[in-house]
Structure 1
Amino acid sequence: MKHLRWGQFWAEWGLIPRLMFAVGLAILTGGSIQTYMFVVEGAAEHSVRLQREMNETMAFLAPLIAEQAILGEYGAISQLLKNQVRRGEADRFEWTDNAGKKIVAQDVDDKNEAPAWLLAVAHIEHVEGDFKVEAGGVGYGTLHAKMTPVQSGNRLWGQFARQLQIVVATLLLILLLIWLIFRGNLGTLRLLAEGANRFSQGDHAVRIESEGSPEVRLAAEAFNNMADNIENLIASLEESESKNKLLATIVEQSSEAIWTKDLTGTVTSWNAGAVAMLGYSSAEAVGRKLTVGRSASDKDEESRMTQLLRSERFSYEVKATTASGGEVDIQVAVAPLIDAGNKRIGTISVAHDITARNRNEEELRLAREAAESASHAKSTFLAKMSHEIRTPMNGVLGMTELLLETELTGTQRKYAQTVQRSGKNLLGIINDILDFSKIEAGKLELEHIDMDLRSTVEDVVELLAERAQSNGVELACNISPEVINGVRGDPLRLGQILTNLVGNSIKFTECGQIVVSVTSVEEAANNLTLRFEVSDSGAGISPEALSRIFENFSQADGSTTRKYGGTGLGLAISRQLVEMMGGKLHVESTPGVGSTFWFTCRFEKQETQPQDDSLPPPGALEGMRALIFEPGAISRGIIHSQIASWGMSHQSVKTPQQALEVLAQGTALGAPYDVAVFDLGLPDTGALELARTIRADAVIAKVRLVMLTTGTRHADIREARNVGIDACLVKPLRQAALYKCLVNVMAGSYEATVSPQVADVPADAAPLRILGNLLLAEDNPVNQQVALGVLEIEGYRVTAVNNGKEALDAYAQGSFDLILMDCQMPEMDGYEAAKKIRERERQSNTRRIPIIALTANAMNHDREKCLNAGMDDYLSKPYGRLQMRDILNRWLSQRAPMQAQAEAFAGAAPATVAQVLDRNALDTLRALQTNDRPDLLERVINLYLTESPKLIQRMKQAAAANDLPEIARATHTLRSSSANLGAMGLTRLCQDLEASARLAAAEEARKQLAEVETEYGSVHIALTAELEAKAA
């Protein structure tokens, strides 16, 4: 038999034999070593024990032998030694007495049971020694003992045998346990091996049952999990392969051109779309370094190459040349091809034919340019038509205004007023069309400035009140008390929206009321949202008409245009303005009941809320009682809301008798009413008679009476004063006016109780005359005559010329305070003339003369064009006497020194007073005088002359400290008090100064302050002259 080497033999063993052999060998080796150590240590121990036992035995036998030796009992000594040999380890005892006699005892029965090798290994030697036997210091001989290791060897062999048995038994037990433990686990391992073999042969469903130890179970579970994952991966790979085949089919059949290239730029695939788009077959393209189009510039090509090197995705548009030599516009998207190792192996490109898109874009561009050209042509046409219409309109309205200044019969005046109203209506239509055009062209821009919200709304209501009242309609304004006043927005456009909505309501409301309401919807730290509402009791709008009410050139029905007139643009313009302000215009209407138009707008809050120094402090009416006698439910509700917000308690009554009873009842209960507010125009109630009755009744005569009236008829005011009414207010009520009136009435300050509405300057009021020489350049004869007529009435000396060239000649020959320059004139237009005048001023270093543009153009860029030409201001045709007066006052008042004013007034005080102060305002104050207050006018003037210098001083100090808010507050107060005395020129200057201060235009405000101070000097002189005339 061929002998196997040990390595081969060991390699053929299984795990259990290997383990059993290794463990057995280790146990045997360890047991042998342990046994050897046991034997060696045991032998040493036995040697020590024999020596110790011999010493102990000799110490035990010596006294016994000495005792028997003394007695001479040698037989007893022999028996004693024999007994000791049998019991102990000693092999031989020999006692020799002093005479030399020996007694010997020796063990002949001990047998050696231990093997020789054990004794050799143990190496236990015999022990012997002599011991003297003595008693009382007398020696009785010598005892010799020999200790042999037979018994120790036997004992050691027994211990060795037991130790060996334990080692062998342990070895057998451990081997048995190993075999039992590994038999089951190895079975599972065999199953794993068989399963792996079957799996490798394609049986992917094979799984192993998890048996055996946790480790083996984990191995089985790991195999099963691996099999699951591999099976899923194979399924996924099969699915991916199927998708790849589908994707390849899609790519091949795609209408988009798709191709790939390797890193050298060689085409590696070329789909059917690329064949169709570029004309190269797959065989012609694949394997070639084909460049599909080239960028318009080397820079673009370089950028593309850089992106390719960076493996970036990018796209570009290019004009590609086809195989047939044609051209096609394509958009190419390029992305890197990445392998499984995240390494770039090439690029994939997808091209889309954009030839049609580019053609469409070019067509759109041409259409847009055509539309812009048409829009520009339309704007040019509108500007031209505006100029052409405004030029004759200026003549119509100007001449009509001049005509109304002359002596006319009633019929003639009626006809002239009809012409004037028709002209203004036509002007309104033109303005609507221009606004609509600006919005449509996107050229209308909103302002974002500080504004007085309450004044803006109340100004609109007040402006349209007379028109509403002439139609028998009451117009009311209800601004919720919680609405703050100081906001930022576009007051002009907000007023335009409200004017359109209120004007529309007036047009379609024949009786009843129109209410303008403002409420707060939402308020944050820096902004707030307000709801504006205009409701009326008019004809209403049908549901069919509501759907198109905001369309351009649309009204409720065709008949309204014929019955009421208008362009149908007002609501469309308002809707678009509201949307520009971030809101939306809504309408709710019921035919025969009325309509409500409402919108919301968001405003920023001003950093600091403006304070009206002319108003009494808050809380002045706290706890006071008011009686309201107002027939209109809406007006009554507005008054209730306002006085309640001031802390007043109130009650309403419906009849004069009820008013008297309530007043008497309040006095009887110890809670009299402080003030009663009632309408002078109460139907069939005898309001004045009620006032007489109250004043005649001593019980209730102390109540303050405030009359509300819808007009400024001086006779009515005078009669009201005569019957004991304390103050009069004109409707629609301003909240601030009502508050100030009630506070002043309760304080007994009657001078300030006249409503500001009563003191408004009428259209024919005497102007502020500032003498000066004017140059008028106007080519249209009618407009020239209008301007000459207006300026002559205003008191100016005017030199008129027909074109810009004549204006230059006149400027060179004469000395003028101001030039009025038409913009479009023959030979040389106004723009060129203005530029040349400015150039001459620079060359001669002379003062800058104000140049005011007169033009019928009404577009924003026309104003900019005028200012760029060197003109200072802009007056749009058609203009009226008041517009001309305002602009002349603004530019010429600063050139009239106070001394010149004083000299003028000294020569002709009565005439000058009429020119500086509005006589109607002075007459109104005189009408308020009664027998018990005959000096009302004098007291008001004295109070004004005392307080106004303080305000002027405050304004100057604020200007020195650059405190614009303080300038605005002081100017507002001066403006209000000046208006009450009819100083309308000063009022307008204060208004301009206040606006500049609120807009933070510091430099402009300083200039305007000088104008205000100069004008105030004229007013001061005029009022002083009035007092002197009264004293004379």
Structure 2
Amino acid sequence: MDASTFDLLPIIVCEVAPVRDEAGEIIDFEWTGANSLMQKSILPEGGSVLGMRIFEFDPAYRDSEMVRNVRKVLNTGETVAFTTSQGRAVKMLSKVMRTVVIPNGDSVICCSHEVTDLARERDEAISQAELLKLACDTATHCIAIANGDGTLIYVNDAMLTLSGYEAGDLIGQSAAILMEEDAFKELVTRFTGPGTGYSNKTDAKLKTKSGELIRISVAMNAARLPGEDTTVFITHIEDVRETRRKAHELREALHRAEQATRMKSEFLANMSHEIRTPLNGVLGMAQALAHEDLTASQTEQVSIILDSGRALMVLLNDILDLSKIEAGKLEISPVESDIRHKLSSLFKLHMSIAEEKGIDLRLHVDPNVPSRLAFDPVRVRQCIGNLVSNAIKFTEEGEVMIVVTCSPAESGKATVTVHVTDTGCGIAENKIEHIFASFSQEDGSTTRRFGGTGLGLAITRQLAQMMGGDVTAVSEPGRGSIFTLTFSADVADSASTPAENNTVQLASHRPRSGLGGCRVLVVDDNHINLRVARSFLNSYDLKITEASNGAEALEHLNDGAFDIVLMDVHMPGLDGIEALKRLRMSANPNRFVPVIALTADSMEGDRERYLNMGFDGYVSKPIDERGLISAMGQVLSLGKPAELHSVAV
């Protein structure tokens, strides 16, 4: 060949002739012609390949695809085209060559050009296509692609599994095969507009090969293929049967939980009501007896009745408090109050119990404790009272010391710390956290020896945490314990804070009521409750009238004037709520007489509920004599709603 003829071509051209042995067998090949590009590709540093034998130049050529195709052309006389990767063995690095071998008598002409970039792009396209197909086929949701007329051109494995079809059953078929006809038309109509569209998920039904209709969620993209005026629809389908089932189960579980919570609340409310009603008779009569002339033995017996009734009340209140805390319905209600007075009152309350056991009870309030703080006096009193009661209970001899300090106020907030130290039996270190769990004490022997339910400390810790503090303990068996309560309080502005009524309600004598001569109507269907109320009121020079239901009460109010009404809420026939409503709406001159609700309902929200109904005051059972007289005095003298929860006295 005339190589110069091919020097201007941007391709490699060479002539290869076979080298034969004496038997005529090809043992090598010789380059008999080559253009300049061929020379440079084989000998980049210069020189000529003409006359060079190929196998001697590079033995790797012996088994190369190039040589195999040259042999084929020499044997058949046909032109062969092929693509091959050339590596170092042929002096070319990672190049992809497209070669044509042309017969030329007893030699061949080889024409090659590099297609490395094209091959790479092709391989990348194939790789991306395979990767996308793998992603679609392994997706957990169904994917189907249809062309503009709705003919399916691709479905993934999830779609085949859900529909029950084979790929050959669907490809080339209308997508309508997978849905009811009307539903399919409605769905496609949304996305046949120009440009690219996307649907939010919508519910539909997939029709399987067996004819079953499956509830699905469908979203569809309408897109144009790049460089083409062709629209395809890419549909994403999700089987929502399991999701719907789980959502239904969740709703059912939520409904059952709410129902259980309601039933629990109703049970607690009923339990509280049913216990408080007879307990009102027990404690009421015992309090009345305590004011009579009794022998020493009778006084002791009455004291036992009162102590037992109070213990039952503490248990009942603890259970209700724990229930409210667990339900998230117990709220902390800070008010400005004299904390020093509250501490003094609490100290006096426990002093007599400590004296009975021969224990020295002492209280020290650090001078840096402000007189007035904004805190929840009921819950703080409950927390400190629980700690002090426990300390006295578990101390046989020695002392119980209450020390109260206060950290400097930052941004108007202070942290109050109460240490209750005793010289009692102590607690093993590995049992300390255990005693703060509900219904837990140190061990069974503690319950048998000292009694109790194990609720007090659990409630105390949870209340303390709700007030921004905590309760901790350190103890050593045989030496005693130190319980530390902390809670957060706002420092009140004493200059603008009105003086608080510091009367101690829990004094041992009867309060001076200032109610002498008042006309009182007591309404209750329980004759024991009527007797308890009368026993309390008889000592205050009051004019008492009794009624056993709402209808009788209205009759008495029509017949005469009264200064105050003590009304039971739950009564057969006409109850207290309806009686109050009829009274306020009547033309009776007594229609605006103050009415205090006497009720065994003492759950969270009961007070607000009854005051919103129009009652002027609220006293929960069992009724405490001093509390009842105080509430009556408040309503009559201050003209504002009175509240008194039953307390152990």
- Fold-level match, TM-score > 0.5? yes
Confirm or deny that 1:560 pairs with 2:446. Answer: yes
- Equivalent of residue 581 in structure 2, options 835, 840, 861: 835
Structure 2 partner of 1:875: 619
Structure 2 partner of 1:782: 528
Structure 1 partner of 2:518: 772
SS in 1 for 2:434: coil
Go from structure 1 to structure 2 and tell me whether the alpha carbon gap of 1:800 and 1:562 turns closer, same or farther (over 3 Å shift). Answer: same
Q: Give percent identity, aligned residues only.
A: 35
Confirm or deny that 1:813 pairs with 2:559. Answer: yes
SS in 2 for 1:548: helix
Distance 1:434 1:307 in 2: 64
Go from structure 1 to structure 2 and tell me whether the alpha carbon gap of 1:322 and 1:598 turns closer, same or farther (over 3 Å shift). Answer: farther
Confirm or deny that 1:427 pairs with 2:335. Answer: no
| Residue deviations 1:765-800 (CA, integer Å, cap 9, x gap) | 554343211111111111111111111111110110
Deviation at 1:321, TM superposition (A): 4.1
Structure 2 partner of 1:362: 248
Deviation at 1:808, TM superposition (A): 1.1
Conserved in 1, the CA contact under 8 Å of 2:467 and 2:488? yes
Deviation at 1:280, TM superposition (A): 4.1
- Equivalent of residue 610 in structure 2, options 853, 856, 866: 866
Distance 1:779 1:321 in 2: 68
What are structure 1's unaligned runs of at least 5 residues?
A: 1-11, 13-190, 196-200, 207-229, 616-755, 896-988, 994-1032
Structure 2 partner of 1:259: 144
SS in 1 for 2:211: coil
What amino acid does structure 1 have at the position aligned with 2:162? M
Structure 2 partner of 1:854: 598
- Equivalent of residue 595 in structure 1, options 481, 484, 499: 481
Deviation at 1:519, TM superposition (A): 4.8
Go from structure 1 to structure 2 and tell me whether the alpha carbon gap of 1:322 and 1:877 turns closer, same or farther (over 3 Å shift). Answer: same
Structure 2 partner of 1:393: 279
Confirm or deny that 1:271 pairs with 2:174. Answer: no
Conserved in 2, the CA contact under 8 Å of 1:856 and 1:877? yes
Distance 1:321 1:809 in 2: 74
Deviation at 1:274, TM superposition (A): 0.8
Go from structure 1 to structure 2 and tell me whether the alpha carbon gap of 1:823 and 1:765 turns closer, same or farther (over 3 Å shift). Answer: closer
| Number of residue pairs matched by the alignment | 537
Conserved in 2, the CA contact under 8 Å of 1:820 and 1:854? yes
SS in 1 for 2:267: helix
Larger Rg: 1
Distance 1:307 1:761 in 2: 86
Structure 1 partner of 2:635: 891
Question: What pairs with 1:502-901 in structure 2 (closer than 5 Å)?
Answer: 502-519=388-405, 524-606=410-492, 608-609=493-494, 761-840=507-586, 843=587, 848-893=592-637
Conserved in 2, the CA contact under 8 Å of 1:307 and 1:313? no
Distance 1:844 1:258 in 2: 78
Question: What pairs with 1:179-328 in structure 2 (closer than 5 Å)?
Answer: 238=123, 241-242=126-127, 244-261=129-146, 267-287=152-172, 288-290=174-176, 311=197, 314-315=200-201, 320-328=206-214
Distance 2:190 2:589 in 1: 63
Deviation at 1:559, TM superposition (A): 2.2
Higher helix share: 1
Go from structure 1 to structure 2 and tell me whether the alpha carbon gap of 1:613 and 1:836 turns closer, same or farther (over 3 Å shift). Answer: closer
SS in 2 for 1:860: coil
Go from structure 1 to structure 2 and tell me whether the alpha carbon gap of 1:319 and 1:812 turns closer, same or farther (over 3 Å shift). Answer: farther
The farther-off stretch of 373-382 and 428-437 is: 373-382
Go from structure 1 to structure 2 and tell me whether the alpha carbon gap of 1:286 and 1:571 turns closer, same or farther (over 3 Å shift). Answer: farther
Go from structure 1 to structure 2 and tell me whether the alpha carbon gap of 1:761 and 1:576 turns closer, same or farther (over 3 Å shift). Answer: closer
What amino acid does structure 1 have at the position aligned with 2:271? M
- RMSD over aligned Cα, in angstroms? 4.4
Go from structure 1 to structure 2 and tell me whether the alpha carbon gap of 1:557 and 1:760 turns closer, same or farther (over 3 Å shift). Answer: closer
Conserved in 2, the CA contact under 8 Å of 1:487 and 1:603? yes
| Residue deviations 1:86-107 (CA, integer Å, cap 9, x gap) | xxxxxxxxxxxxxxxxxxxxxx
Distance 2:230 2:487 in 1: 58
Conserved in 2, the CA contact under 8 Å of 1:204 and 1:231? no
The farther-off stretch of 421-430 and 303-312 is: 303-312
Deviation at 1:506, TM superposition (A): 2.0
Conserved in 2, the CA contact under 8 Å of 1:770 and 1:889? no
What are structure 2's unaligned runs of at least 5 residues?
A: 1-7, 9-39, 45-84, 87-91, 96-114, 644-649
SS in 2 for 1:887: helix
Distance 2:353 2:176 in 1: 82
Conserved in 2, the CA contact under 8 Å of 1:779 and 1:802? yes
Conserved in 2, the CA contact under 8 Å of 1:311 and 1:344? no
What amino acid does structure 2 have at the position aligned with 1:376? R
Deviation at 1:516, TM superposition (A): 3.8
Go from structure 1 to structure 2 and tell me whether the alpha carbon gap of 1:255 and 1:504 turns closer, same or farther (over 3 Å shift). Answer: same
SS in 2 for 1:392: helix
Structure 2 partner of 1:436: 322
Go from structure 1 to structure 2 and tell me whether the alpha carbon gap of 1:485 and 1:361 turns closer, same or farther (over 3 Å shift). Answer: farther
Distance 2:508 2:494 in 1: 32
Distance 1:293 1:579 in 2: 59
Confirm or deny that 1:417 pairs with 2:303. Answer: yes
Go from structure 1 to structure 2 and tell me whether the alpha carbon gap of 1:254 and 1:389 turns closer, same or farther (over 3 Å shift). Answer: same
Conserved in 2, the CA contact under 8 Å of 1:336 and 1:344? no
What amino acid does structure 1 have at the position aligned with 2:457? L
Distance 2:510 2:290 in 1: 9
What amino acid does structure 2 have at the position aligned with 1:786? V
Distance 1:309 1:301 in 2: 17
The farther-off stretch of 819-828 and 538-547 is: 538-547
SS in 2 for 1:549: helix
Distance 2:116 2:169 in 1: 42
What amino acid does structure 1 have at the position aligned with 2:137? E
Go from structure 1 to structure 2 and tell me whether the alpha carbon gap of 1:355 and 1:774 turns closer, same or farther (over 3 Å shift). Answer: same
SS in 1 for 2:574: coil
Question: What pairs with 1:474-485 in structure 2 (closer than 5 Å)?
Answer: 474-482=360-368, 484=370
SS in 1 for 2:436: coil
Deviation at 1:892, TM superposition (A): 2.2
SS in 2 for 1:539: coil
